A and B are shown apart, each in its own frame.
Chain A
């Protein structure tokens, strides 16, 4: 442990209201501590800058999976294991199930939360590309009220997001009727488990009866400062048949749209090339 523990505070507020009150009174001082699976790693390395945390794991308002005719709503504290255990969610949102299965190991899947994965804002996180494909919306709550925003607008820059210091992420909402969406998920991390993505690729599309692509959605991780919904590539695909020319044009646009870097895990060149390969693979298999 490289952190100096006496510098840190962890409090357990009695209720969501108490938590939000405290965050309103001392904005920026308190941050959420959910599963702790991102935070503890930083603490261990002595790299956790923020010092004061509110444990939110016991707050019922942030838990549970709710299904209505229009939406499936996941509490921010929903873990990867919760998703695996919910057959309805897995069937309707297979990309989320796939992401969860490939996240960490069993301990992390039991402990890590979807809310933490989103707010931790790592560009290499594995569930956000799936959430992007499903047009997820986030509910942010504070002492002064609640607001819903589109997830695709949430991340504004590397580790920056549209969330005020007095807000908590409460729920994540996914519009239903994804049944005929053909999906594709691929996490590329060299080893098969316990990997940090070099590229994470989630996609969905519908083919019209004339063979044209109607609704293409591409969510990518580890190819830009934030996870990315690749709207310009989607534009290229819209209303075209997934033939060779389309695939070529889409791959070219994708490589332009993403902004991968060289880092200790991989190279920009590899990320761009593999992202394009996966897009091509997705499109080729659409017709099948």
Chain B
């Protein structure tokens, strides 16, 4: 048997092809007779379509034109509900909503044609903010503008207010954020009545696209095929949206008699038309005793879902469950709602609602600490959840958890106490125009896998196959989108079988060839799907051993020989494994109560900032991320996930401001949507604690993909509060807002 590969920084599977440029992204693919597709979109946020006219100077007879009338199946993007059309036919509900599709072999002419289509829309009053939606200034969706609401109710909050020594209230909000993957959305489709529909593209979830195309074309599953190409990042932005663009390309191809159609968004279109992080509003009311014990928390959490339901219900769910954080509080009530506005639907984005509610909570915790006269750290220490205690949904924490230990380690690494005191002293002496400094932290958790009964409902499947030469291929729909899926799956499988890492490879995610291992989202790929990879791989070994071809102990040579003989005698050697929930898991969807997640990752993040009082700009000078994530499968990739997530969180906190005008993003370019550059980022120091999770793969891995998005915003604003003495409650905190905040208090 070989030494373990899990835990070692082996080269990433597709690293060489990416570095040398050999990797093929969808825009690198060209097919004979291919056309290019473009989308004509709504110029207004809400209205009734009066007419569509085709302008002068364009040879319209050369164009493929698709409207809602051309749709063979149902004009709805199948996701959770069926409320979002592929093409608006009568009403539009957000700016940039697709109305008509065009295709032509000449990309240049296509753009000219796109501009020559005039859509005349009678505007209707629209709703642009979460507050207006709640106030129902207009009813724009369903009966009450509400996509979904949840109630989590633990203990009896109503009784605590009277006994509490102190009640602290706070209101917090977060803005939209663009995912800004390097590769914009893009697909190629070939579709006709004879051969069915095939879509190649940049995506996270091939089976989501598959499901959507079945409905759109009214075809049986075997007539639809979806293939993931090399994908340049997703961050959630390619969870649901590829169903839209994939459907559009397929509709054009269908109308063009099966000629391939490629649609690639440019950055401006990708930013203006596709999903962003849900803006949110959170209200907290917290009851504490004089000695700083949490007695009760009442939390109202609202997210802005945009014009259609899409994934808002699930984003809301994760945000809701994380809203009370890693604290032991006997009485918790969380009411949450996802509401409709006339902006492009907000969607999946790393953290999926949790960064929003955790931001509010961790700012509120600093506020409560100050109110009871404890340091932020001491107050949290008194309330951290411990093994055997229950979360807001009543989930008993069965695994060992040591939040205080993480806090100690993070403080040691940052010299937190000494700095906190020093900055307080030095800031007092800083004159007008000087630089003020602060240090702050946030403590939080992030659940891995689908919420509640989600995984049980998905019933994901992973396959493994070995050929006559002994090479092993993993069959899964889980996608490599830059985060390292290929590499960690191969590590897990090679360790399970005791084989060389080079002997294991990943099949391209192709619904014609791989089983549905579920979407690549929710920090589930390593923990949930990785475990299935492990057992599917072990299935191969068991089959060989059952056939008497392999001993308990074997060499790579024995393995190859066994595979050769097996394939010769019985044909293909394959094994499949399907998800089963760990024993004792209990979840009540009605009451929103029980085991919300299989496992949590736990973390304490510390940020150090300086605030320039001349320009009101904040710089993050140092960042330490300490987390317990179970077994670390690949130390470099894992650290990379944390560093990238923290960088994205810093963008969310201080730089990335979506500027809206009448429901449309107006700074839809990388010039004016200011994401931080490498020179704006601090050193990001990553430290892992490993507490193996019994049901995780490779000796107990949990999820880490979303976690690093959660802690940055509150840690940074907590630090800014130390620097400036002002408690800011909204992110992004742009210099303009920081200036206003400072002048209101001085």
**Which of B109, B667, B739 is packed against the most chain A CB atoms within 10 Å?**
B739
Is the pair A264, B659 in contact by a Cβ cutoff of 8 Å? Answer: yes
Chain A residue with minimal CB distance to B677?
A: A193
Q: Which chain B residues border A1 with CB–CB below 8 Å?
A: 107-108, 111, 266
Given A269-B736, A277-B433: A264 in contact with B672 (beta carbons within 8 A): yes
Chain A interface size band reads 20 to 34
Given A264-B659, A270-B735: A191 in contact with B677 (beta carbons within 8 A): yes
Q: Measured between alpha carbons, how far is A188 from B432 in the docked complex, in Å?
A: 18
Q: Measured between alpha carbons, how far is A77 from B676 in the docked complex, in Å?
A: 31
Which of these, A4, A45, A188, A273, contacts B617 with CB under 8 Å?
A188
Assess whether B671 is interfacial by the CB under 8 Å rule: yes
Which of these, B266, B433, B666, B735, contacts A190 with CB under 8 Å?
B735
Assess whether A281 is interfacial by the CB under 8 Å rule: yes
Q: Which chain B residues border A267 with CB–CB below 8 Å?
A: 736
Interchain nearest-CB distance for A248 vs B (Å):
12
Q: Measured between alpha carbons, how far is A249 from B677 in the docked complex, in Å?
A: 38
Q: Measured between alpha carbons, how far is A188 from B655 in the docked complex, in Å?
A: 13
Interchain nearest-CB distance for B598 vs A (Å):
39
Chain A, 234-278, CB within 8 A of any chain B CB: 264-267, 269-270, 273-274, 277-278
Which of these, A44, A265, A270, A280, contacts B433 with CB under 8 Å?
A280
Q: Which chain B residues border A44 with CB–CB below 8 Å?
A: 266
Q: Measured between alpha carbons, how far is A242 from B672 in the docked complex, in Å?
A: 37
Which of these, A6, A192, A193, A278, contacts B614 with CB under 8 Å?
A278
Which of these, B108, B432, B676, contacts A191 with CB under 8 Å?
B676
Assess whether B30 is interfacial by the CB under 8 Å rule: no
Chain A residue with minimal CB distance to B734?
A: A190
Which of these, B109, B115, B667, B675, contacts A264 with CB under 8 Å?
B667
Given A6-B108, A270-B616: A196 in contact with B672 (beta carbons within 8 A): yes
Assess whether B370 is interfacial by the CB under 8 Å rule: no
Q: Measured between alpha carbons, how far is A259 from B276 in the docked complex, in Å?
A: 34
Chain B residue with minimal CB distance to A105?
A: B677
**Which of B107, B109, B433, B655 is packed against the most chain A CB atoms within 10 Å?**
B433
Assess whether A2 is interfacial by the CB under 8 Å rule: yes
Which of these, B615, B679, B740, contacts A274 with CB under 8 Å?
B615
Interchain nearest-CB distance for B40 vs A (Å):
14
Q: Which chain B residues border A278 with CB–CB below 8 Å?
A: 614-615
Given A6-B108, A266-B736: A191 in contact with B672 (beta carbons within 8 A): no
Interchain nearest-CB distance for B161 vs A (Å):
40
Is the pair B266, A2 in contact by a Cβ cutoff of 8 Å? Answer: yes
Assess whether A110 is interfacial by the CB under 8 Å rule: no
Interchain nearest-CB distance for A229 vs B (Å):
22
A-B pair number, CB within 8 angstroms: 80
Q: Measured between alpha carbons, how far is A45 from B739 in the docked complex, in Å?
A: 33
Over the window 99-136 of chain B, the binary record of Cβ atoms lying under 8 Å from chain A Cβ atoms (1 yes, 0 no) is: 00000000111011001000000000000000000000
Assess whether A156 is interfacial by the CB under 8 Å rule: no
Q: Measured between alpha carbons, how far is A195 from B677 in the docked complex, in Å?
A: 10
Q: Measured between alpha carbons, how far is A269 from B741 in the docked complex, in Å?
A: 13
Assess whether A9 is interfacial by the CB under 8 Å rule: no
Interchain nearest-CB distance for A146 vs B (Å):
35
Assess whether B268 is interfacial by the CB under 8 Å rule: yes
Is the pair B672, A190 in contact by a Cβ cutoff of 8 Å? Answer: no
Chain B residue with minimal CB distance to A273?
A: B739
Interchain nearest-CB distance for A102 vs B (Å):
11
Assess whether B551 is interfacial by the CB under 8 Å rule: no
Given A5-B108, A266-B736: A274 in contact with B266 (beta carbons within 8 A): no
Chain A residue with minimal CB distance to B269?
A: A2
Chain A residue with minimal CB distance to B654?
A: A190
Interchain nearest-CB distance for A231 vs B (Å):
24
Given A6-B108, A264-B659, A266-B736: A281 in contact with B266 (beta carbons within 8 A): no
Q: Measured between alpha carbons, how far is A274 from B736 in the docked complex, in Å?
A: 10
Q: Which chain B residues border A186 with CB–CB below 8 Å?
A: 614-615
Is the pair A45, B109 in contact by a Cβ cutoff of 8 Å? Answer: no
Q: Measured between alpha carbons, how far is A3 from B614 in the docked complex, in Å?
A: 41
Q: Measured between alpha carbons, how far is A101 from B109 in the docked complex, in Å?
A: 40
Assess whether B458 is interfacial by the CB under 8 Å rule: no
Interchain nearest-CB distance for A39 vs B (Å):
15
Q: Which chain B residues border A5 with CB–CB below 8 Å?
A: 108
Is the pair B614, A195 in contact by a Cβ cutoff of 8 Å? Answer: no
Given A192-B677, A193-B677, A194-B677: A281 in contact with B433 (beta carbons within 8 A): yes
Assess whether B674 is interfacial by the CB under 8 Å rule: yes
Assess whether B680 is interfacial by the CB under 8 Å rule: yes
Q: Measured between alpha carbons, how far is A196 from B735 in the docked complex, in Å?
A: 15
Is the pair A190, B617 in contact by a Cβ cutoff of 8 Å? Answer: yes
Is the pair B111, A2 in contact by a Cβ cutoff of 8 Å? Answer: yes
Given A2-B266, A277-B615: A190 in contact with B677 (beta carbons within 8 A): no
Q: Measured between alpha carbons, how far is A277 from B612 in the docked complex, in Å?
A: 11
Q: Which chain A residues border B115 with CB–CB below 8 Å?
A: 46
Q: Which chain B residues border A193 with CB–CB below 8 Å?
A: 677, 679-680
Is the pair B680, A4 in contact by a Cβ cutoff of 8 Å? Answer: no
Is the pair B109, A4 in contact by a Cβ cutoff of 8 Å? Answer: yes
Is the pair B616, A274 in contact by a Cβ cutoff of 8 Å? Answer: yes
Assess whether A149 is interfacial by the CB under 8 Å rule: no
Interchain nearest-CB distance for A153 vs B (Å):
30
Q: Measured between alpha carbons, how far is A5 from B109 in the docked complex, in Å?
A: 9
Q: Which chain B residues border A41 with CB–CB below 8 Å?
A: 671
Interchain nearest-CB distance for A255 vs B (Å):
14
Q: Measured between alpha carbons, how far is A48 from B679 in the docked complex, in Å?
A: 32
Interchain nearest-CB distance for B573 vs A (Å):
50
Over the window 322-355 of chain B, the binary record of Cβ atoms lying under 8 Å from chain A Cβ atoms (1 yes, 0 no) is: 0000000000000000000000000000000000
Q: Which chain B residues border A277 with CB–CB below 8 Å?
A: 433, 613-615
Assess whether A284 is interfacial by the CB under 8 Å rule: yes
Interchain nearest-CB distance for B412 vs A (Å):
30
Chain B, 81-111, CB within 8 A of any chain A CB: 107-109, 111
Is the pair B433, A195 in contact by a Cβ cutoff of 8 Å? Answer: no
Q: Measured between alpha carbons, how far is A194 from B617 in the docked complex, in Å?
A: 16
Q: Which chain B residues border A280 with CB–CB below 8 Å?
A: 432-433
Is the pair B674, A191 in contact by a Cβ cutoff of 8 Å? Answer: yes
Interchain nearest-CB distance for A167 vs B (Å):
29
Q: Which chain B residues border A189 with CB–CB below 8 Å?
A: 674
Q: Which chain A residues border B432 with CB–CB below 8 Å?
A: 280
Chain A residue with minimal CB distance to B659?
A: A264
Q: Measured between alpha carbons, how far is A195 from B680 in the docked complex, in Å?
A: 11
Q: Measured between alpha carbons, how far is A189 from B266 in the docked complex, in Å?
A: 25
> Which residues in A have some Cβ–Cβ distance to B below 8 Å?
1-6, 41, 44-46, 186, 188-196, 198, 264-267, 269-270, 273-274, 277-278, 280-281, 284
Extra A-B contacts (6), CB below 8 Å, given A5-B108, A193-B677, A195-B674 = A4-B112, A191-B674, A193-B679, A265-B672, A277-B615, A280-B432
- Could you list 19 A-B pairs, sorted by A, with CB under 8 Å? A1-B111, A2-B111, A2-B268, A3-B111, A4-B111, A4-B112, A5-B108, A44-B266, A188-B615, A190-B655, A191-B679, A191-B680, A194-B671, A264-B666, A264-B672, A265-B672, A267-B736, A269-B740, A270-B616
- Please list the 9 inter-chain residue pairs (A to B) with the smallest Cβ-Cβ separation, ordered nearest first: A270-B736, A277-B614, A192-B679, A264-B659, A4-B112, A193-B677, A264-B667, A188-B615, A191-B680
